[in-house]
Chains A and B, each alone.
Chain A
């Protein structure tokens, strides 16, 4: 396009207006939030199973998961406060930087691109202190900066990797199995059961339990509301099978909580009544039940 850009004067004024609006809406009291990125133990949000799949995939390969090949020796460093870790020039074939961060003290650690992780005192020294990401390679980017408060300590391991998504496998019954990825879900979705056993849940079980199936059937906001209320706070356990799809090896639990982003407690104010009509293209807003899935998605596994 021809030097297409937003008028800076307009953009700056808009930006200032947006910030004002956000700050005006700051809640009077900060409600306690459930942790979203508590290591890998609690997982929230439909669709995240695949999205975070890149993290520690090098440790074992689930069909359909990204296969990560390290291309250089990992760089491990320990710091207190904000610091930048140099990785040197990326080897040929690099598609991303795989990084794992452990917090050594409580604090919020920002990885750039806005991703962040908060560690509580309770997390330090437990598997909950671990976070992993694979960042796509940006040409010219040869370092990672972790931004945090001056007294927060952390340890990072980062390395250049090549990532490619593997194919799903097929079992004797002809069902595909493996990790959710950009191609969607296989017939049997890889998970780690609450008892720690790796296995698979049936896609239809999962969609029934996490609401994907129900959402498609609603004909009115009232129906959606009733469904939401009926589910609130309930747990839905679905069986985890071995690769044959016949032997149960554990269970995978999905809990419905109100609101987005793990904000616990009351439902959003606009969800307490039924709106008279929906405008064209408008979706009923209050399906914002975030399932919190316990057990783990199969891919992100702490390295120790």
Chain B
């Protein structure tokens, strides 16, 4: 159902009127999905945090351009996240001083020491590499529909495509991604199961 995110409109409108708490609530609501998506695209915790921050800063900076789709800002935000991840250097440059000034907890221990984490990391790196082979538009479609479970209609609306065009491009993008993953034979990882299904 499209109405799950209906709630964003009220908060977004209040944010535009300068109500910080409303924007804070939007941040709380979408933070984890944006972060997961950023991580998926870059496979690195620190960079994913930078992308997360840049995405929300862009959401605000470009607030006049934000397109609310089916009551949600999330599709727009995810497209921005994808753009930020693809142009990491440019995004980081704009917000470099701010990003450096934000405090971070230093992770204890070396994540590569744990064999399970190392295996997971490898899978994530492979996926990130495979995703990097897609064009921006394909990546947007795969991100929105395959990973974030938006409808084809919603993805089409935010990307300015017709639903039919989105559907056929998604099909091709899936095939390219599958090919890219299979190309990473070094990690004996099967294609992610989520790529196999058809989404309505």
Question: Contacts of B18 on A, CB cut-off 8 Å?
Answer: 22-27
Contact A268 B64 (CB under 8 A): yes
In the assembled complex, how far is the CB of residue A23 from the closest CB belonging to chain B, in whole angstroms?
4
Contact with B along A1-37 (1 / 0, CB 8 A): 1101111111101110111111111110010010010
Return the contact of A22 from the options B60, B62, B68 (Cβ within 8 A): B60
Known contacts A26-B18, A47-B70; decide if A18 and B105 are in contact (CB<8 Å): no
Contact B6 A184 (CB under 8 A): no
Question: Contacts of A85 on B, CB cut-off 8 Å?
Answer: none
Contact A114 B7 (CB under 8 A): yes
> Chain B interface mostly helix, strand, loop or mixed?
helix
Report the nearest A residue to B29, measured CB to CB. A114
Report the nearest A residue to B19, measured CB to CB. A22
Number of interface residues of A (CB under 8 A): 72
Number of interface residues of B (CB under 8 A): 73
Which of A50-58, A122-130, A169-177, A235-243 participates in binding chain B? A50-58
Which of A76-84, A152-160, A222-230, A280-288 participates in binding chain B? A280-288
Report the nearest A residue to B111, measured CB to CB. A2
Question: Contacts of A280 on B, CB cut-off 8 Å?
Answer: 87, 136
Question: Contacts of A48 on B, CB cut-off 8 Å?
Answer: 70-71
Question: Contacts of A8 on B, CB cut-off 8 Å?
Answer: 105
Contact A18 B157 (CB under 8 A): no
Question: Contacts of B164 on A, CB cut-off 8 Å?
Answer: 184
Which of A86-94, A131-139, A187-195, A244-252 participates in binding chain B? A131-139
**Contacts from A to B (Cβ < 8 Å):** 1-2, 4-11, 13-15, 17-27, 30, 33, 36, 45-48, 50-54, 66, 95-96, 110-117, 133-136, 163, 181-185, 215-216, 259-261, 263, 268, 270-271, 280-281, 283, 285-286, 288
**Contacts from B to A (Cβ < 8 Å):** 1-13, 15-29, 31-32, 35-36, 39, 45, 49, 52-53, 56-57, 60, 62, 64-66, 68-71, 83, 86-87, 98, 102-105, 116-117, 120-121, 124, 136, 151-154, 156-157, 160, 162-164, 200
